[in-house]
Amino acid sequence: MTPDEIRKSYHVELKELKKMVEEMGDLSSRAISKAIDSLVDLDEEKIREVDDLDNKIYAYDRAIEKKSLDLIALQAPVARDLRMIGTCLKIITDLNRIGRYSQDITKVTERMLGKKHMKKLVSIPHMADLTTKMVDMAVDSFVEENEEYQEEIYEKEEMVDALYDEIFREVLTYMMEDKETITMGTQYVLVIRYLERIADHACNIVDRVVYMETGERIEPET
């Protein structure tokens, strides 16, 4: 191959890498939504669907890691290209964790199968919708190479945190008034904690995009 052909092939590989991250992000968002659906409907079939999505997310994690390392080894990228590839390696860790938290939500569903919710679930699905939008926006920020999503994502994180506090207080009130709700209330608290952590990972992703675009490092959430 000529130097021009090698360079063209390299840029095609970079575009393919970004596309893979975008597809992994879509799977992660779908896993969140499907996990919450499993909880709301207490649906065993949706649990299996989330398991399948989590397996696909893990497969993307491995494939993106390999492609990234191959590009580093064979193309010796520098400056911004190297930051982009390094960002991919970081983002897939966050997306993989999002998939695992979604699976954790389905484990709550498993424990509740055969029971009835103590009240209609409204706030938890709303919180899940916000976190899903955060993940979508964070992945979009990477694909579009646009760090300006950061402010809106952080605003949504504040809304998620406020919902966490609101739901926690409401569940605690139920548990204090009726000890029969303690077991189920505890499960709800686990779910909102998982959603809060997913929101943190979305913030991590957009922070990594800021670094990719500007070289300014922002310490991510742990």
Radius of gyration of the chain measured on its C-alpha atoms: 20
Write the CB contacts of 39 (distance below 8 Å, at least 6 apart in sequence). Answer: 105, 106, 108, 109, 112, 121, 124, 191
- Cα gap 101→16, rounded to integer Å: 27
Q: Which amino acid is at 199?
A: A
Contact status, residue 127 vs residue 193, Cβ threshold 8 Å: no
Q: What's this model's pTM, rounded to 2 decimal places?
A: 0.92
140-180 tens-digit pLDDT:
999 999 999 999 999 999 999 999 999 999 999 999 999 98
CATH number of 3-214: 1.20.58.220
59-82 tens-digit pLDDT:
999 999 999 999 999 887 778 889
